[in-house]
Chain A
Amino acid sequence: MLTAYVRGVGLLGPGLTDWQTGAPVIAGTAPYRPCPTVLPAPQALPPAERRRTGATVKLAIAVAQQAVSRAAIDPAGLAAVFASSSGDGVICHEICETLATEERQISPTRFHNSVHNAAAGYWSIATGATAASSAICAYDASFAAGLLEALTLIAVSGAPALLSAYETAYPEPMNAKRPLPDSFGAALVLTATSEQMSLARITAALGDAPGDRMSEPQLEVLRAGVPAARSLPLLALLARREPGRVVIDYLPEQSVVLEVCECR
Chain B
Amino acid sequence: MTPLSISHFTATSCIGRGLDEMIASLRARRSGLAPCTFETVRLDTYVGEVPGVDEESLPHELRRFDCRNNRLAQLGLRQDGFMDAVQASVARWGRRRIGLVLGTSTSGILATEIAYRQRDPATGALPPDLDYAGTHNSYSLGAFTRLLLGLEGPATVICTACSSSAKAFSSAGRMIEAGLIDAAVVGGVDSLCLTTLYGFHSLQLLSGAPCKPFDAARDGISIGEAAAFALLERMPPHLDSGALLLTGSGESSDAHHMSSPHPQGRGAREAMAQALAAAQLAPPDIDYINLHGTGTPGNDAAEGCAVSTLFEHSIRASSTKGATGHTLGAAGALEAVICAIGLRHGLMPGSANTERLDPAVEFDYLRENRANVPFRRALSNSFGFGGSNCSLILERSA
Contact = CB atoms under 8 A, between A and B. Distances in A.
Interface string B114-150: 0011010001111000101100011110110010000
Interface in A108-164: 108, 111-118, 120-122, 124-125, 127-139, 141-142, 145, 148-149, 151-153, 155-156
B203 interface: yes
Interface stretch (A25-33, A98-106, A210-218): A98-106
A172 interface: yes
Contacts of A107: 202
Contacts of A141: 139, 155
Contacts of A136: 156-159, 171
Interface string B381-398: 000111110000000000
A128 B20 CA distance: 45
Contacts of A173: 119, 123-126
Contacts of B204: 108
A254 interface: yes
A115 B116 contact: no
B167 interface: yes
A122 B178 contact: no
A148 B194 CA distance: 33
B174 A111 contact: no
A33 B141 CA distance: 38
B254 A130 contact: yes
A250 B255 CA distance: 31
B252 interface: yes
A209 interface: no
B386 A96 contact: no
A96 B113 contact: yes
Contacts of B254: 124, 130
B178 A156 contact: yes
A134 B158 contact: yes
B255 A114 contact: no
B309 to A, nearest CB: 16
A120 B386 contact: yes
Contact of A100 (B117, B203, B384): B117
| A-side interface size class | 35 or more
Contacts of B177: 152, 155-156
Contacts of A116: 105, 138, 159-161
Contact of B156 (A2, A131, A138): A138
Given A117-B384, A155-B178, A112 B203 contact: yes
B47 to A, nearest CB: 16
B175 interface: yes
A121 B126 contact: no
A152 B175 contact: yes
A99 B388 contact: no
A177 B126 contact: yes
A137 to B, nearest CB: 4
Nearest to A120: B386
Given A96-B116, A172-B124, A2 B137 contact: no
A131 B270 CA distance: 9
B113 A99 contact: yes
A87 interface: yes
Contact of B386 (A108, A118, A172): A118
B133 A139 contact: yes
A95 B253 CA distance: 26
B362 interface: no
Nearest to B390: A132
A243 to B, nearest CB: 23
A197 interface: no
B137 A86 contact: yes
A84 to B, nearest CB: 9
B239 interface: no
Given A135-B158, A137-B139, A173-B124, A125 B195 contact: no
B153 to A, nearest CB: 8
A183 interface: no
A136 B142 CA distance: 11
B58 interface: no
Nearest to B255: A124
Contacts of A124: 253-255, 386-387
Given A134-B171, A138-B142, A148-B180, A112 B253 contact: no
A115 B161 contact: yes
Contacts of A155: 174, 177-178
Given A120-B160, A152-B178, A133 B258 contact: no
Contacts of A151: 178
Nearest to A81: B171
Contact of B160 (A86, A112, A134): A134
Contact of B199 (A2, A95, A130): A95
Nearest to B388: A117
Nearest to A125: B255
A130 B270 CA distance: 9
Given A155-B174, A173-B119, A148 B154 contact: yes
A66 interface: no
Interface in B346-398: 384-388
B209 to A, nearest CB: 21
A192 to B, nearest CB: 12
Given A107-B202, A139-B139, A254 B152 contact: yes
A174 to B, nearest CB: 7
A2 to B, nearest CB: 6
Interface string A173-205: 110111000000000000000000000000000
B137 A133 contact: no
Interface string B234-260: 000000000000000001111111110
A250 B99 CA distance: 14
B25 interface: no
Given A111-B203, A134-B158, 11 more contacts: A111-B195, A113-B258, A120-B160, A121-B258, A121-B388, A122-B386, A135-B160, A139-B143, A141-B155, A151-B178, A155-B177
Q: Which 5 A-B pairs have the closest CB atoms?
A: A121-B386, A116-B159, A132-B251, A111-B199, A124-B253
